[in-house]
Amino acid sequence: MKKSLHPDNYQLVVFEDLNNGYRLLTRSTVESKETTKWDDGKEYPLVKVHISSASHPFFTGEERILDIEGRVDKFKARAAAGEAAKEKRAAAAQKASRRTAAKAAKGADQSTEA
């Protein structure tokens, strides 16, 4: 077996689920600048996570959409903006074609009068 394969800088760390506030004290090698008080009154490094077994639908049995960072909202906004731009281009194209048709009709009227 290889020597010095596993890290040796384990420390007690609190992981906090941002969905439901669930907190877990465990050993980890992760570094964190934030700290928090645990139930025993001691300060421990704090690592915030977006999802854990306490809020993941697979473990909770709930079916729901997890959209912590607004990805669905961003997509819907981008799609709506694209549709609006498409409609604006179509309206501009129709206006230009009407203008061209009006100029052509006006030119035809002037040539028949002459």
Q: Tokens at residue 1, please?
A: 């077996």
Convert 45-68 to b/e letters by CB count within 10 Å (16 or more is b): bbbeeeebeebeeeeeeeeeeeee
Does some domain include residue 77? yes
Q: Evaluate if residue 95 carries a pLDDT over 90.
A: yes
CA 36 – CA 24 distance, rounded (Å): 12
Q: Tokens at residue 100, please?
A: 């061209």
For 21-66, what is each residue's pLDDT tens digit? 899 999 999 999 999 999 999 999 999 998 888 887 776 777 666 6
Does some domain include residue 105? no
Does some domain include residue 101? no
Does some domain include residue 31? yes
pLDDT mean across residues, the chain = 86
Does some domain include residue 114? no
Mean pLDDT in residue range 86-93:
94
Does some domain include residue 63? yes
Whether the full predicted model's pTM is greater than 0.85, yes or no, is: no
Q: Domain of 40? A: 11-95
Does some domain include residue 6? no
The number of distinct structural domains making up the chain is 1
